[in-house]
Amino acid sequence: MKEKFVPRKDIPRIGWVLVDAVDNWTADFACQNCKFPHVRYVHELKHKNTGTIISVGCVCAQHLTQDFATPRLREKALRSWAGRRMRWPTLNWKRSYKGNLFLKKQGMVIVVRPSGGKWVASYKPADDNQGIWTSVKGLHDTPEEAKLASFDALYSPSKTWSDH
């Protein structure tokens, strides 16, 4: 079963702009246009005149925006971002003599350390010897969760496409 665009009487056929694309993590979102129930990557469209927001799948996003490239590219970026995020905790994290975990990646050094029974993350540019750390928000139950929080702080999917 695939998503199939069907025009609807209650949704304007044109005048939509793609404002965001979000990974729903599970493919169980129902497209608000065609009702296809297995959308994973949710595309948010805003109507130019009315300001109405609707959340749809890739196919309906393409038809409603009349842009058959961008929604697909957004979805591809989200997919590769999700893959990178999944691999992030398994990268070459090292353990320091203090028991902290650290990773050097793309000019940054990321540290995950225990704090009051929880785990916290912070990062700084690897060549910054002054040691000014940026703390990542949140206390985490596991080092893995703290690693993922550092990934989210450093790489957001919207950064992925605004850089290009």
Within 10 angstroms of residue 44's Cβ, the number of other Cβ atoms is 17
Is 91:84 a contact under the CB 8 Å cutoff?
Answer: no
Query: In the complex, what is the shortest distance from the CB of residue 10 to Zn ion, in angstroms, rounded to a whole number?
Result: 14
Closest CA to 161 of 71, 27, 59, 65: 71
By beta-carbon proximity to Zn ion, the closer residue of 56 and 121 is 56
By three-state DSSP, how is residue 101 classified? strand
Give the separation between CA 118 and CA 141, rounded to whole angstroms. Answer: 5
Identify which range of 13-21, 34-42, 73-81, 90-98 contacts Zn ion by CB under 5 A.
34-42
By beta-carbon proximity to Zn ion, the closer residue of 18 and 56 is 56
Query: Does 78 participate in binding Zn ion (rule CB under 5 A)?
Result: no
Query: For residue 135, what are the β-bridge partners?
Result: 122
Query: Does 33 participate in binding Zn ion (rule CB under 5 A)?
Result: yes
Is 44:20 a contact under the CB 8 Å cutoff?
Answer: yes
Residue count at the site for Zn ion (CB under 5 A)? 8
Query: In the complex, what is the shortest distance from the CB of residue 15 to Zn ion, in angstroms, rounded to a whole number?
Result: 17
Identify which range of 16-24, 33-41, 68-76, 123-131 contacts Zn ion by CB under 5 A.
33-41
- Name the residues that contact Zn ion, by CB under 5 A: 3, 31, 33-34, 36, 56-57, 60
